[in-house]
Amino acid sequence: MKRRSFVATAGLVGLSPMATSQDYSDYTKDPRPDVAEGAWTAGGPDGPVFAGSPVVSGPAAEDICILQPVQRLATGYLEYAVEGGPWQRVDSDNVGLAPLAEHVLKFRLPPLPPGKWIRHRVVARTAGWIKVRQFYHGEFKVGEAQTSEVSRFRTLDHGAQKTLFVVWNDTHENSETLKDLNLLTNDYKPDFMLWNGDQSNDVHFENQMAGQFLSPGGLAIADKWPLAFVRGNHDCRGPAARSLVDFTGTPGDRFYYGFRSGPVAAIVLDTGEDKPDDSPYLSGMGTFQKMAREQAAWLNEFVKTDWFREAPHKILFCHIPLWFDHPRIPGSKSNVASNIRDLCGPTLVEAGVKLVISGHTHDFLWMPKKEGQPISQLVGGAPNPKLATWIFAEATSDALHLRMSKLDGTIITDVTI
């Protein structure tokens, strides 16, 4: 058998008649005659690439991500500089391939020095394929380089004598509430901001996620300070919820982690859904009980970390309260928060955690520790501007001072621990 005949015959094995009908050596047979040669078949030609401000997420100095929303298929790289030092390049390498994304470019920085100002910018190009001859996706093309504006933030410092932080909760895509929270936060100028769950109303479409989690309403919410992201139960819902890791930048891309800012050591735990895994509402799609056990095992080791043990103030941030019995949302004995309370509670108490900050109930409540509740708990947040609250705090080695207020400045809770 001639070699050419053998190859042609081998190529037919196991293929359908439709699959074998296309002869890619014959340029007269065009699989998409309706698409002109040179037309874009994926991506698009040049145009504005950026779609909002970058988000600095991490928030530990050794584990910072910068996420840049884009408005068309794009590729690119990040440049950063420590203080007045030279620009250094970061490529988001994916097994040898530069990034190619339709909604957000994500860059994980190398470990950074603590307490330093970091300048950063993104260089991006539009990207896509054009048809060449009979090949529908024939040639890859990129546009002219576009450079974002330079932003800067300061890395957190374990050794700082004081730290300021802000907590948002249950914003649920309410544009008026988000705008007011952003103004208040910019006035306060925190060392870090923590977004404590239910950023979304549910997560259905990837093309909406940058507006839900990165630049809501076009706001620059976290380009000047690191953002600590906490997943809420609504952020677990919808088919695109599985893409959340692409729009966030937590340590190890997990939704449970720890970090330190001055005298504050923070633990973030993921309370998942507010329903048990066997709830008919979840249709068998939840594996949160397993996740709770994984977090408990991680926590048992994490609390042995030197910088955590030595911190004067230890705080747990989680979306669903560990202790609550609300008229509208009675305490459950089978959801993930109750599992975490049972699995992690003894570890948290032994480790010296003195406060839990959470939300979920869309109202506010200060709960000093008492019998059956060994850790104080502060609950706040709501999407309605009339009910919305924010928490702003200052910690020194001697005291942790927290205030929760409405958006009009009315102080609801003022406590010192």
216-253 pLDDT, tens digit per residue, is 989 999 999 999 999 999 999 999 999 999 999 999 99
Q: 416 CB contacts (<8 Å, ≥6 apart)?
A: 399, 400, 401, 402
Pairwise CA distance, residues 155 & 139, whole Å: 42
Strands 257-261 and 227-230: unpaired
Pairwise CA distance, residues 314 & 355, whole Å: 7
Angle at 234 between CA 229 and CA 240, to 5 degrees: 85
Nearest 5°: phi and psi at 54? -70, 160
Pairwise CA distance, residues 79 & 225, whole Å: 17
292-315 pLDDT, tens digit per residue, is 999 999 999 999 999 999 999 999
Output 4 or 84, whichever has higher pLDDT: 84
30-57 pLDDT, tens digit per residue, is 777 888 888 888 888 789 999 999 999 9
64-75 pLDDT, tens digit per residue, is 999 999 999 999
Start-end of H helices in 97-144? none
Pairwise CA distance, residues 232 & 128, whole Å: 35
Q: What is the pLDDT of residue 34?
A: 83
Q: What value does the mean pLDDT take over residues 375-383?
A: 96
Q: What is the pLDDT of residue 292?
A: 92
Which residues of the chain does CATH 3.60.21.10 include? 156-416
Which residues of the chain does CATH 2.60.40.10 include? 42-153
Q: Count other C-beta atoms under 10 Å from residue 158's C-beta.
A: 19
Q: What is the pLDDT of residue 332?
A: 52
CATH-assigned architecture of domain 42-153: Sandwich (2.60)
CATH number of 156-416: 3.60.21.10
The answer to whether 22 and 31 are in contact (CB under 8 A) is yes
Q: What is the pLDDT of residue 327?
A: 54
> pTM, whole model, 2 decimals?
0.89
Cα 80 from chain centre: 20
Q: Categorize the per-residue pLDDT at 280 as very low, low, confident or very high, splitting at 50, 70 and 90.
A: confident
Phi-psi region of 286 (alpha: psi -120 to 50; beta: other; left: phi over 0): beta
Q: What value does the mean pLDDT take over residues 322-337?
A: 64
Q: Categorize the per-residue pLDDT at 86 as very low, low, confident or very high, splitting at 50, 70 and 90.
A: very high
Q: Return the CA Rg of the chain.
A: 25
Pairwise CA distance, residues 358 & 371, whole Å: 20
What share of the chain has pLDDT > 70, as a percent? 90
